[in-house]
């Protein structure tokens, strides 16, 4: 099952939710503004990043600017606590699967969350159209 971390007012989040639903991808939705992200979910997200905090922290956000923190010098425990207290620091949406993760919405990249059988049928139908 795919985990979708979002805030309802975010346009990219709504696009990701609609795309997953329209492609019948099973997902569990987490509103990061109303329910704090668990420590285990944050660890799972961090382990799938390629560039650590650069991938998930929105340094252009008003919250980040206001806090004026250096996340690079924080311990993992401090970072997780900071994010749990300030979920608006996260880039959104975060789409987390067993083997893949996507930050933000990109219609080409999100296809990785489609079940393999669905992708196979889609590929075959596009070959037939050629």
pLDDT in tens, 5-20: 999 999 999 999 999 9
Number of domains in the chain: 1
Burial, 81: exposed, middle or buried (Cβ in 10 Å; 0-12, 13-18, 19+)?
middle
Q: What is the CATH number of the domain that holds 34?
A: 3.40.30.10
Whether 13 is catalytic is no
Residue 128 in this model has a pLDDT that exceeds 80: no
Residue that wins the pLDDT comparison between 121 and 48: 48
Average pLDDT in the 38-47 region?
94
Q: What is the pTM of this model?
A: 0.86
* 116/85 Cα distance (integer angstroms): 37
- Pairing of the two strands 27-31 and 94-96: unpaired
Domain, as residue range, for 39: 2-129
Residue 118: which pLDDT band, with cuts at 50, 70 and 90? low
pLDDT of res. 32: 96
Catalytic member of 2, 4, 6, 10:
10
């Amino acid at each position: 099952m795919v985990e979708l971390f979002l805030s309802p007012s975010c346009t990219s989040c709504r696009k990701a939710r609609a795309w997953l639903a329209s492609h019948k991808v099973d997902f569990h939705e987490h509103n990061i503004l109303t329910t704090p992200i668990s420590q285990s979910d944050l660890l799972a997200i961090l382990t799938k990043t390629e560039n650590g905090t650069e991938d998930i922290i929105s340094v252009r956000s008003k919250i980040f600017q206001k806090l004026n923190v250096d996340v690079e010098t924080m311990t993992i425990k401090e970072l997780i606590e900071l994010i749990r207290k300030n979920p608006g620091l996260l880039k959104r949406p975060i789409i987390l699967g067993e083997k893949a993760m996507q930050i933000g919405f990109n219609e080409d990249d999100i296809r990785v969350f489609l079940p393999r059988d669905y992708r196979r049928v889609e590929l075959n139908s596009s070959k037939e159209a050629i």
